[in-house]
Structure 1
Amino acid sequence: MFPAESLPAFLVFAERLNFTAAARELHISQPALHVKVRKLAEAVGRPLYVRHGKRLVLTAEGEALARFARERADQLDQFLAELGGEQRRVALAAGQGAYLYLLGDVIARESERLRLFTASRAQTLTLVRDGRAQLGVSVLDELPDDLDTVKLATYDQVLVVPHDHPLASRDQIRLPDLTGMRMVLPHPAQPLRVSLERLRSVADFEWEVAVEAGGWPLMLHFVELGVGAAVVNGCVRTDLAKVPIVDLPPVPYYAIHRPGARADRRVAQLLDQICHSLGST
C-alpha cells in the first residue's frame, strides 16, 4: 500500500536535501523521517535519492515523486482556499531585469496574490519544472521541450552611452564600432557576457574591460559615472542614450509554464495580464 501520508514529509526533504534540516522543519526526529522516505522508496520500487560525496541528490524517481507531492499539496491548498472564500497565491519566477522593466505594472496590481522568486534563467526553468513556480518569465535562446512557452516581447540589444558620446547620435551601430572602447560588462559567467565575447572574437576586434558589474542597474550607474559604455536589452529604461546594435540578435522574453498549468484559472489570469501589459495579446 502506498504511504501517501508520508508525501508532505518527503516534499520537505526533497526541497532541503538534508535530513537534519528537514526533520527540524517537520518537528520530527531524523529516524522518523528516514522511515517515511524509506517506505516511499519501497512503494515506488526505486531509490529516491543518492549520495554524491557529502551531498544528497534526488534520483529521477525522487524528482518525479517530489513533483507529484507538490502538485497534490497545491491542489489541496487551492481547494481549502476556495472553500474558505480565499484565492491562493500564484508563484512567479523571473530575473531582475524582467521584474524591473517588464512586470512592474502587473506586480503592483496583483502583489497580494503573488509569491515571487528572483531567479536566473536556469533557476527559473528549474522552479517551473519542479512545480515551485506555476509561471516563469525569462529570455530563452532555445525553447524547452518539456514546458509550454508564450512569447511576450522581443527587444533589440542596445549600446548605452551618455548623450555626449560620439556614438550617441547614431541611428544604429555594429559591433566593430565598439573597437577600443571602455566597456561596462556583465561578469564572465553571465549569458550576455558569453554571447558578447563570442561575437567579439568572430568580428575580430578588441575592447577594454573597464569594470564587470552584476545586474543592469549597476551597469547603468557605471555608465552614468563615465566609466564606460554598456550593452543591455532594449527594454531597459534609462535617461542615457540607447543605440541599437544591428548585428546582435534581438532578445525574446517568454512566459514559461508546465503543460496543463493554464487549466488553473489563477495561472491563466496572471498570464493574460502579463500578455496584455506587454502588448502581446
Structure 2
Amino acid sequence: MDLSRLSTDALASFAVFADHLNFTRAAEELHISQPALHVKVQKLADTLGRPLYTRHGRRLALTPAGEAAARFARDLDARVASFLADLHGVSSRVPTLAAGEGAYLYLLGGVVRSGLKLINGDRPRTLAAVRTGRADVGVAVLDVLPADLTATVLATYPQVLVMPEGHPLAAAPALALADLAGTALIVPPPAGPHRVALERALRAAGVPWTVAVEAEGWPLMLHFVSLGVGLAVVNGCVAPSPGLVTREIIDLPPVPYHALHLPSRADDPLVTDLLAAVRTALRSH
C-alpha cells in the first residue's frame, strides 16, 4: 500500500459520504458531481486496499474499514481545526450528540442547548455516527451491546400501554400481556425493533391482536390513541398526552437506554463533559 497516494481531499469527501451513505446527497453537500465523488471514494478504497462500503439492494453500509477511514478523516480534520484554533486563540470543536426522536423528545430535552451539535437518527444511524467519529456520544435503546463501543446504562423504563382515561383497562394498576387479547394496537412499521419484539412477545404469550394502524414515532402513535384509533405499547419514559393514561405491562422486559462512545475516547473532555450533562438531564427528568 502506497501511503504517499493517500489523499486528504478524498478522506474529507469520504467522511461526508459516510454521513449520508448516499452519493447524490453527499455530492450535493460537497458541490461536486456524483461521478466525481464515486472516483474519490474508489481511489481511496484502492489506496487502502479495502472495500469501504457494501451495497444491499438500494441500501449502502460502511464496512469496518469504511468506519475506520471515516473516523480517521474526522480525527484528522479535528486535529487541524484544533491546531488552527490554538494558533488564533479561539475555541475549536463543538460536542456532538446522536440520538433518536424518542430520546430527544422524552429524555434529553434538558441537555439540548446552543453550542451543542445534534444528530437525529434511528439506532443504526446513531451507532454509525459514534463509530465513525461523527458523534462524540450516542444515546440509544440496546438489547445487544456492541463489542466495539463502550456502552453505559443511563436509565431503564418499563413498557406501558397507552389508552384513554375511560378505557376499561385503565381501571387496573398494572397489566399483563393476556389483558391485551383482542386489542387493536397502533404499532410501528414491521421492520422496526419495537414492533418485532412486541410481536414476538404477544405470539409467545398466545395473545390474539390486530393492527389498528402502523405509525412511525411515539408522538404520532399517541395522537392516534387520542383519536380512538386503538391502543399503543410504548416505552415508559413517554409522557402521555392529556386525556390519556399509561399502565405498566408487567411481563414485557424493561427498556434500557445506553450512552455510547468509542473506547479510545473514554478520557476525552468532549465525551466526559457531554456524558455528565446527559446524566444530569436524566436525573432532573
Match of 1:260 in 2: 264
Alpha-carbon offset, residue 31 of structure 1: 7.0
Match of 2:13 in 1: 12
Superimposed CA distance per residue, residues 16-38 of structure 1 (whole angstroms, 9 cap, x where no aligned partner) = 27499649826699679847963
Aligned sequence identity (%): 46
Q: Classify 1:122/1:6 alpha carbon distance in 2 versus 1 (closer, same or farther; 3 Å).
A: same
Aligned-partner SS, 2:43: helix
Q: Hey, what's the Cα distance between the residues in 2 that align with 1:5 and 1:38?
A: 9
Match runs of 1:6-85 below 5 Å: 6-16=7-17, 18=23, 22=27, 25=30, 34=39, 38=43, 41-42=46-47, 44=48, 46-49=49-52, 60-82=64-86, 83-85=88-90
Q: Hey, what's the Cα distance between the residues in 1 that align with 2:227 and 2:37?
A: 58
Kindly indicate whether residue 100 of structure 2 is the aligned counterpart of residue 130 of structure 1: no
Unmatched tracts of structure 1, length 5 or more: none
Aligned-partner SS, 2:162: strand
Unmatched tracts of structure 2, length 5 or more: none
Aligned length: 275
Q: Classify 1:4/1:114 alpha carbon distance in 2 versus 1 (closer, same or farther; 3 Å).
A: farther
Match runs of 1:1-281 below 5 Å: 2-3=3-4, 6-16=7-17, 18=23, 22=27, 25=30, 34=39, 38=43, 41-42=46-47, 44=48, 46-49=49-52, 60-82=64-86, 83-107=88-112, 111-238=113-240, 239=242, 240-279=244-283
TM-score (norm 1): 0.85
Q: Hey, what's the Cα distance between the residues in 1 that align with 2:147 and 2:43?
A: 32
Q: Hey, what's the Cα distance between the residues in 1 that align with 2:136 and 2:218?
A: 26
Q: CA RMSD in A?
A: 3.1
Alpha-carbon offset, residue 134 of structure 1: 1.2
Structure 2 counterpart of 1:188, which letter?
A: P
Q: Classify 1:20/1:160 alpha carbon distance in 2 versus 1 (closer, same or farther; 3 Å).
A: closer
